[in-house]
Amino acid sequence: MKGWKLSPPFLLLLPAVIVLAAVVVVPLLLSLYSSFTPFRLTRPETFWVFIGARNYINIFTSRDFWVAFARTVVLLTVALNLEMLIGLGLALLVEKASRGQRLLRTIMMFPMMFSPILVGFQFKFMFNDNIGLVNNALQALGLTDRAIPWLIDGNLAFIAILTAEIWSSTSVFAILILAGLLAMPREPVEAARVDGCTPWQTFRYVTWPFIMPFAFIAMTIRSLDVARAYDIVKIMTDGGPAGRTELVWTLVARTAYSDAKMGLANAMAYFSILLSIGFTVYFYRKLAAARTQIAAEW
């Protein structure tokens, strides 16, 4: 510690540190401990039984967990990449618009205001096999004559969840990339054009490096919040039917609250925390690298 000499920044940061320690760090230490016990909510005395790494061994040998884990990683990777691409496209479209930019930008922010739970509900409604907008439209257009079981078939449900996820988070990318495009100096683009670059080359070698940090800020913000997908999946399919859309988070919730196996669930939760931290640190470092690159070139 810094002794009892209280420096101003230390004092100013103290409340934040205390709250985070009390609500996040200490409970996490507790859950780390309980991941080494067979703790069940219904039997409090099991909290004091130490079983070593048995929970972790159970997880390592559990096929269900690894399937859910792999599905989560695939979902996040596909979703983040598509969100980035679509967000970039959207930002370029809006930037090119000559009129109504303000209105367009406002509309673009629309999905950001939706609570993930609402996004889930909304798409559950739209993908409903009987009364959903998607099936109704497909049938009205004559593309299919039977109801497509969007939320019942495993692969289709994955697509439905992916759609919901992309719809809700693309605007984060679009807005931040647009901010980058608007902040970009005009001269380098014009110089590139004068020098005979094709539009693609201009974009690839002039525009893209400049907006990259903005894209990575969006990635970092987004990766802080990857677990939002839990809310969406929880309401759309709740991991079902029969675990076909199970993600790490829904599996943790089910193990902890339905099966009451707190110890095991805490061990699983640690994997999901590492997953989130992994995504965040990865993009944070990309962001730092992109920043120094910009600083060197401009």
Partner 1 sequence: MDQNSIHRVRRQALGIAHGVGLFLAMLVICLPGIWIVLSSLRPTVEIMAKPPVWIPQELSLDAYVAMFSGIGKGGIPVLDYFRNSLIISVTSTVIAIVIGMAGGYAFARYRFRAKSAMFLGLMLTRTVPGIALSLPLFFVYARLGIIDTHFGLILVYVALNVPFTVWLIDGFFRQVPKDLAEAAQIDGCTRWQAFWQVEFPLAGPGIASAGIFAFLTSWNEFALASQLTRSINSKTLPVGLLDYTSEFTIDWRGMCALAVVMIIPALTLTFIVQKHLVGGLTSGAVKG
* Near partner 1 in 236-295, by CB under 8 A: 249, 252-253, 256-257, 262, 265-266, 269-270, 272-273, 276-277, 279-280, 284, 291-292, 294-295
CB of 53 to partner 1, least distance (A): 18
CA-CA distance, 284 to 219, in Å (whole number)? 8
CA-CA distance, 137 to 129, in Å (whole number)? 11
Using CB under 8 A as the binding rule, whether residue 152 contacts partner 1 is answered as: no
CA-CA distance, 261 to 245, in Å (whole number)? 21
Contacts with partner 1 in 26-45 (CB under 8 A)?
Answer: 27-28, 30-31, 34, 41
Contacts with partner 1 in 116-135 (CB under 8 A)?
Answer: 116-118, 121-123, 125-126, 130-131, 133
Query: Using a CB cutoff of 8 Å and minimum separation of 24, what contacts does 253-262 make?
Result: 256/41, 260/40, 260/41, 260/42, 261/38, 261/39, 261/40, 262/34, 262/39, 262/40, 262/41
| DSSP three-state, residue 248 | helix
Using CB under 8 A as the binding rule, whether residue 235 contacts partner 1 is answered as: yes
Listed ranges 16-24, 50-58, 59-67, 149-157: which one lies at the site for partner 1 (CB under 8 A): 16-24
Judged by CB under 8 A, the residue of 60, 66, 110, 205 near partner 1 is: 110
CA-CA distance, 252 to 3, in Å (whole number)? 41
Angle of helix 208-224 relative to helix 154-183, nearest 10 degrees, comes to 130
Q: Tokens 């889930």 correspond to what residue?
A: 120
Listed ranges 60-68, 112-120, 152-160, 188-196: which one lies at the site for partner 1 (CB under 8 A): 112-120
CB of 202 to partner 1, least distance (A): 16
Supply the Cα-derived Rg of the chain in whole angstroms: 24
Using CB under 8 A as the binding rule, whether residue 93 contacts partner 1 is answered as: yes
Judged by CB under 8 A, the residue of 3, 5, 7, 155 near partner 1 is: 7
Token digits of residue 128: 């409903």
Pick 65 or 230: Cβ nearer partner 1: 230
Using CB under 8 A as the binding rule, whether residue 197 contacts partner 1 is answered as: no
Site map 61..90 versus partner 1, x via CB under 8 A:
----------------------------xx
CA 83 from chain centre, in angstroms, equals 10
- Sequence-distant (6+) residues with CB within 8 A of 134 are 126, 127, 148, 150
Using CB under 8 A as the binding rule, whether residue 114 contacts partner 1 is answered as: yes
Pick 27 or 190: Cβ nearer partner 1: 27
